[in-house]
Amino acid sequence: MDLADRYINSESVKRMLQSDQVVLAGKTAVLFTKDGGQHNNLHDMQCMWYELASDESYFRHGDFGRALEKFIAVEKHYADITEDQFDFHSYCLRKMTPRAYVGKLKFKDWLHSHAYFHKVAAGAIRS
């Protein structure tokens, strides 16, 4: 397997998580992170597909505490995105970019209807 190919690595990580091989998937996932070896880097990059798939795997294993902790971490990404949008208000007004501002407002309406957010909310409730 080519360790530099991110597509192949991410697909293999997805399949490992689907087969509940969380430890092996974590070791493979850190191969294509910037610092290569720090599992926290995936959280810092807001790699939600990985976190959500590992959450589901923990849930299937019956490790509800870890699954809930990870579901809440993904929900925190959405809270961070919402918080970051407040800085964009003043930036758009200062730079006179109404098209970007309208796009941001539409994005804000769409943010919490994203499929990942619904999966996270349902998983947290199940846990």
pLDDT in tens, the chain (127 residues): 566 777 888 898 899 999 999 889 888 888 777 665 566 777 778 888 888 999 899 999 888 988 888 888 888 988 888 888 777 777 777 877 878 788 878 887 888 888 888 888 888 888 7
Q: What is the pLDDT of residue 104?
A: 79
Residue with tokens 């990985």: 50
The distance in angstroms from the start CA to the end CA of the chain is 36
Neighbours of 10 (CB within 10 A): 16
Q: What is the pLDDT of residue 83?
A: 84
| pTM for this entry | 0.75
Calculate the CA dihedral of residues 83, 88, 89, 93 and round it to 10 degrees.
170
Of 11, 124, 21, 20, nearest in space to 66 by CA:
124
User: Do 119 and 52 form a contact (C-beta atoms < 8 A)?
Assistant: yes
Calculate ∠ Cα 26-29-35, nearest 5°: 105
